[in-house]
Structure 1
Amino acid sequence: MKITSLLRLLAIVILGFPTVTNAQTKWMNPMDSDEPYICGRAWNKEMGKSFNRLPDRFKATVSEKVWGNSTLTAGLTVRFATTSRNISVKYVCASQNFGTLNLSGIVHSGVDLYGKAKDGKLHWIANHMNWRHVGDTMTISFPDLTVPTTRGTEYTLYLPNYNGVKWLAVGVDSKSDFQFIHQSKERPIVVYGSSIIHGASPSRPGMSIPNIVSREMEYPLINLGFSGSAYMEPGIFDMLGEIDARLFVLDPIPNSVNLTEGEIISRAVAGVKKLRSLSKAPILLNECHPIPDSIFRANVAERYTRANKAFRQAYLQLKAAGINNLYYMHSNEINMNEDDMIEGTHPNDTGCRAYAEAYKRKIREILSKGEK
């Protein structure tokens, strides 16, 4: 049996476990508003009823791969408050393939729920395999919740990292109070990068690097990670320049390693100059993570070391050219080891945690200097 067929069969078997739902459930659609109740993206009102990350007009200005990745819901969330003790999420994915060899079915096509407790922090809510897949519709349930207060609880629902969503509804007890919450009006942190930023490969959506950073730093964040497609093309920087950001983070090297050193330097220099002409926000350039298996794969580590050096050279050229409010993070600031990767290319849960901690340290350092 082919691997893809086996994975599809396993998904059907696993997703066939019975789910727990309340017979008296009302279903609420986050698209039932002039401005969708979708958080984690720019151009939200322009997007209309779409769950994509970019408006249709960018299809003509970004690469085909970037556009394809923008139809995946990485980094998008739905926020709501309810008094319900039972919550279910019913949705239809754009693709019915639920995972690959380096992506679990949950991080690929599942949703992840967090609730705000009395301490004011978001805490993970496990689904304990309460899921059901019937036809093209997935239902994941969180029954019999221990609700912290009777006044209602705020929840954040993370959407799939590597699938698109055609339709989604949140189900709650029919007599409960319920209200969707619009995304924050604060200026966001905007992160552009590769599949590592896009959301590969923790076990579930809430554990991706941008989602950890946003949740724990309590800043709105826009995930513009495009798997296998972070090559710093001119159209990317025009797109970024439309966003009124608190901070831009550029993390393209895990893909741009495939460019020559000269291409890395020229694209990074031109891109940052373009972005600075459009925005005064701080810009952080991030090197690729250290390669944990460099002892037996020194040839792979050398390629990333070369690319990081080129990126560093671009940074120095930009500083020499007088580009201000520009920052840099070295690979050795990301404290990863051999057990932090899933296949040597993407971080697992502990690797994403290490990455996120490095991001948080650097972001605090930058923003503590005062926003421009």
Structure 2
Amino acid sequence: MKNLMVFVMLILSVTCMGTTTSLEDMKYLNADAFQLIGKGFEDTPTRYSRLPASLEGVTRPPVWSLSQNCSGLAIRFKTNSTAIAARWEVTGDVFMNHFTMTGIKGMDLYCLKDGQWQFVNSARPTGKETTAMIIQNMAGEMNEYMLYLPLYDGLKKLEIGVEPTALIEQAQVDSPRKGKPVVFYGTSITQGGCASRAGMSYPNILSRIMDKEIINLGFSGNGQLDLEVAEAMATIDASCFVIDCLPNVSVAQMNEKYARFIEIVREKNPETPILLVETILFPHRHFDQSVFTLLQDKNETLTRIYKEQKAKGDRKIYYQKADDLIGDDQEATVDGVHLTDLGFKRMAENLYPVIRKLIK
């Protein structure tokens, strides 16, 4: 009798979970057919690249390589499918010992509900090529979706899977709103290291909060004020430029190139707000005295550069101190530098009122 009851409970639990849809039974469509948001330049070597093809061989090799990562890009579509899957191949099959695979080369599905973007589930990678069910057993209503692409890997191909009889169409709602995006330039932190999943980088969080398209020009370890990147940035019709590169530059590099980087962007964008962001205050500065001194020197140097630009007559330059950007409990990083989801959420929430005011 006891075994019979266990068997019945097992059957009931499976039934309550609903029917499962086989990955093999899904209909797969090339994601190239659907709207791509978060792209700053059209003349890129591939659809999912982040810098114009003209910079290949011009910008430093690591910057070019990192520009092939998909951070900030997302696919928009609508469907009434009760299940959604993805089939994709990354270009690098990147692995790190402090960064989840879902963040590096996975994808995140969001659904627009009551005017807000709500997390649905992650597409979890299994290797260089993956076919994964993201969600199933949905009601079959026609909904708007957004699929964030990998933060730290590129895409060779991407297909979206729906049920064979389901409709899948172009997105109808303009959200995050396109036109005059917010452009972020910076480091691995800007690029999204080390978010647990693609939707949790701070620029992506801000895009949802602001309901505004963003362009992510974060280059891990290489946000080093490359002037040719500034020239490319300057061609984007942005609502705001956010420069968040201090963790990657020395004081000497700041003195040499920071003011010129600003001037290049400003020459083509005389009325566009430019927000300079201090380096976040790494928790291990409380123990590593050299780190403490370095952070202090960089932020003091940025303050001076900001004041000099203001003195030259730049009325649209703004400054963000780092004091509370990631909180003061020292719990917002993975390794003392790169942020957890907690750190990214705090950073987005603290930057939101500042950027909202600048783009209003």
Aligned partners of 2:101 and 2:124 also within 8 Å: no
Q: Is 1:122 the equivalent of 2:125?
A: no
Match of 1:237 in 2: 230
Query: Aligned with 2:130: secondary structure?
Result: strand
| Alignment counterpart, residue 259 of structure 2, candidates 265, 269, 273 | 269
Query: Cα distance, 1:259 vs. partner?
Result: 4.0
TM-score in terms of structure 2 length: 0.88
Aligned partners of 2:36 and 2:74 also within 8 Å: yes
Q: Which AA in structure 2 matches 1:26?
A: K
Match of 2:290 in 1: 299
Shift in alpha-carbon separation, 1:61–1:278, aligned structure 2, 3 A:
farther
Q: Which AA in structure 2 matches 1:247?
A: C
Quote the Cα distance in structure 1 between the aligned partners of 2:157 and 2:137.
Answer: 25
Shift in alpha-carbon separation, 1:131–1:289, aligned structure 2, 3 A:
closer
| Alignment counterpart, residue 35 of structure 2, candidates 15, 37, 51 | 37
Shift in alpha-carbon separation, 1:70–1:186, aligned structure 2, 3 A:
same
Query: Aligned with 2:31: secondary structure?
Result: coil
Query: Cα distance, 1:20 vs. partner?
Result: 5.6
| Aligned-residue identity in percent | 28
Q: Which AA in structure 1 matches 2:272?
A: A
Q: Which AA in structure 2 matches 1:29?
A: N
Deviations 1:202-233 (A, max 9, x none): 11111111110001110000000000001112
Deviations 1:27-49 (A, max 9, x none): 111224xxx632111123x3375
Aligned partners of 2:106 and 2:125 also within 8 Å: no
Query: Aligned with 1:187: secondary structure?
Result: strand
Match of 2:190 in 1: 197
Aligned partners of 1:266 and 1:314 also within 8 Å: no
Aligned partners of 2:48 and 2:154 also within 8 Å: yes
Query: Aligned with 2:158: secondary structure?
Result: strand
Q: Which AA in structure 1 matches 2:191?
A: H
Match of 2:3 in 1: none
Query: Cα distance, 1:156 vs. partner?
Result: 0.7
When the two chains are superposed, the root-mean-square deviation of aligned CA atoms in Å is 2.1
Query: Cα distance, 1:140 vs. partner?
Result: 2.0
| Alignment counterpart, residue 96 of structure 1, candidates 93, 109, 128 | 93
| Alignment counterpart, residue 327 of structure 1, candidates 294, 304, 318 | 318
Quote the Cα distance in structure 1 between the aligned partners of 2:358 and 2:124.
Answer: 42
Quote the Cα distance in structure 1 between the aligned partners of 2:247 and 2:180.
Answer: 27
Quote the Cα distance in structure 1 between the aligned partners of 2:76 and 2:215.
Answer: 15
Q: Is 1:344 the equivalent of 2:340?
A: no
Query: Cα distance, 1:114 vs. partner?
Result: 0.8
Match of 1:111 in 2: 107
What is the total number of aligned residue pairs between the two structures?
336
| Alignment counterpart, residue 47 of structure 2, candidates 42, 47, 50 | 50
Q: Runs of 5+ in structure 1 lacking a partner?
A: 1-18
Query: Aligned with 1:161: secondary structure?
Result: coil
Shift in alpha-carbon separation, 1:131–1:210, aligned structure 2, 3 A:
closer
Q: Which AA in structure 2 matches 1:37?
A: Q
Quote the Cα distance in structure 1 between the aligned partners of 2:22 and 2:46.
Answer: 26
TM-score in terms of structure 1 length: 0.85
Query: Aligned with 1:170: secondary structure?
Result: strand
Match of 1:367 in 2: 359
Query: Cα distance, 1:131 vs. partner?
Result: 5.3
Quote the Cα distance in structure 2 between the aligned partners of 1:357 and 1:285.
Answer: 17
Q: How does 1:49-68 map to 2 (within 5 A)?
A: 49-68=46-65
Q: Runs of 5+ in structure 2 lacking a partner?
A: 1-19
Quote the Cα distance in structure 2 between the aligned partners of 1:242 and 1:137.
Answer: 35
Q: Which AA in structure 1 matches 2:202?
A: I
Query: Cα distance, 1:188 vs. partner?
Result: 0.3
Deviations 1:244-264 (A, max 9, x none): 0010001110101x342xx31
